[in-house]
Amino acid sequence: ESVANRIAAGEVVQRPSSVVKELVENSLDAGATSISVVVKDSGLKLIQVSDNGHGIRYEDLPILCERHTTSKLTSFEDLQTIKSMGFRGEALASMTYVGHVTVMTITDGQLHGYRVSYRDGVMEHEPKPCAAVKGTQIMVENLFYNMLARRKALQNASDDYPKIVDLISRFAIYHTNVSFTCRKHGANKADVNTVIAASRLDAIKMVYGMPIARDLMEIGASDNNPTRSVFEMDGFISSANYMAKKTTMVLFINDRLVECTPLKRAIEVAYSATLTKASKPFIFMSIRVPSEHVDVNVHPTKREVPHCKLLENAIRLRRNPKEASDLTSI
Ligand code: ADP
Ligand code: MG
C-alpha cells in the first residue's frame, strides 16, 4: 500500500516547483497577505513556505495530511463551487509520502503555536507547543528521498529554482494585495521581493521591471450574450516596442494560475501577424468563466487547463486605440 501511495503522490507532486505551487495556494486560501518562500538545493533539500494566514487549528493537525482531507468543503453547495478550483485535500498528504513535512502554525488568539512532523500521511508525534508569530510555516525536506530515480532525474535536469522564481513572480503580479519574497536558503538577497501594489501595472513593474511594464497595453473582453455563458477577460499585452525571444504568458482562470498552450499559441500567431518586428509577446490575462466550462481537475497538478476551446473561440483582444498594431484577429 505504501508503494501505491508513493506512486500516486509522485503524480501529484512532480517536482519542487509543484510543491511550491500547492503550498503558496494554501497560504493564499488561508487569507495570507505576506508569503515567503525559501529554497535549498533546487528544492530537493528544503522548501519552506511561511505565511501570515489564519493558521491551522490544533484539532485539525492529526488529519491535516490524510489523503482527501480538506477543510475547504463544508457543504454540498461548497462542493459544487470548490470542486472546480481543484480543492481535493491531496497536496499535503502527497508531500508526506515523498518527503519530510513539518508544520508550524498558530491560530489567532492563541498564546503559542504547534509544531508537528508527518510521514506517509500520519503525524509522527503529538504536536509540540512552540513559539510562533502569526500564520503557518510548512517545510518540505528531502523531497523524493524514497524515489531515487526521480531525485536523480531532477538533479540532472536543469535547476528547478528558476521555475520557482517564475511561479512566485506570477502569483505576485496577480495577488497585488499580498507581498511575496522568494530566495535561496542562505542568500541575503531575495529573487522576488514585492510589497502590496496599488495596481496590476505597479505589480508588474515591481516583478518584471520597468522595460516590460512600459511597453504594455491594456486588453479586455467580455461576452454578455444572455444565451451564452458570461465570459470576462482583462489583462495586458506587450506593444510593438517590446522585443523578446520568448513568450511570457501569465494566465489566471477564475483566480487560479494555469497554463493553456493552445491559447498561448493562438496569441503568438496573432501577435506575429500584427507586428513587423520579430518579437514574442508578454501577456498577462485574467479570465472569468462559469466554473462548469473549465475542468481544472483533470490533471492532478491542475496546471494545464485542458478544456479551453471556449476561451480560444471567445477571446477577442481589444486593442488600445493609441497603438498601431492590430490584435483584434485572435
Ligand atoms: P486542500 O488545499 O485541497 O484543502 P491540501 O492538502 O493542500 O488540501 O491542504 C490540506 C488542508 O490543510 C487545507 O484544507 C487547510 O485546511 C490546511 N492548510 C494547509 N496549508 C495551510 C496554510 N498555509 N494555512 C492554513 N491552513 C492550511
Ligand atoms: Mg491545497
- Per-residue pLDDT, averaged over 225-230, amounts to 71
Helix (H), strand (E) at residue 34: strand 34-40
Q: Which CATH class is domain 210-314?
A: alpha beta
Cell of 287: 479570465
258 CA to centre of own chain: 8
Tell me, in angstroms, the distance from the centre of ligand 2 to residue 89's CA: 6
In which residue are the cell numbers 466550462 written? Answer: 293
Query: Domain segments of the chain: what residues?
Result: 2-193, 210-314
- Tens-place pLDDT, residues 99-120: 999 999 999 999 999 999 999 9
Q: Is residue 64 lining ligand 1, measured as CB closer than 6 Å?
A: yes
Tell me, in angstroms, the distance from the centre of ligand 1 to residue 72's CA: 8
Judge if the beta carbon of residue 91 lies within 6 A of ligand 1.
yes
Q: Report the pLDDT averaged over residues 205-211.
A: 90
Which residues are CB-contacts of 321 (< 8 A; sequence separation ≥ 6)? none
Determine whether the shortest distance from the Cβ of 136 to ligand 1 is under 6 A. Answer: yes
Pairwise CA distance, residues 54 & 35, whole Å: 13
What is the structure's pLDDT at 81? Answer: 53
Residue the block writes with cell 502554525: 105
Interatomic CA distance for residues 106 and 119, integer angstroms: 21
DSSP state of 36: E
Instruction: Provide the mean pLDDT of the chain.
Output: 84
158-167 tens-digit pLDDT: 899 999 999 9
Is residue 89 lining ligand 1, measured as CB closer than 6 Å?
yes
Q: Tell me the best of 20, 25, 70 to mutate to test the pocket of ligand 1, counting ligand atoms within 8 Å of each CB and taking the most.
A: 70
259 and 247 Cβ atoms separated by less than 8 Å: no
In the CATH hierarchy, which top-level class contains the domain 2-193? alpha beta
ipTM of the complex: 0.99
What is the CA(18)–ligand 1 centre distance, in A?
Answer: 15
Flag whether pLDDT at 93 surpasses 70.
yes
State in Å: Cα 82 to ligand 1 middle. Answer: 13
Task: Look at residue 136 and give its three-state secondary structure.
Answer: strand
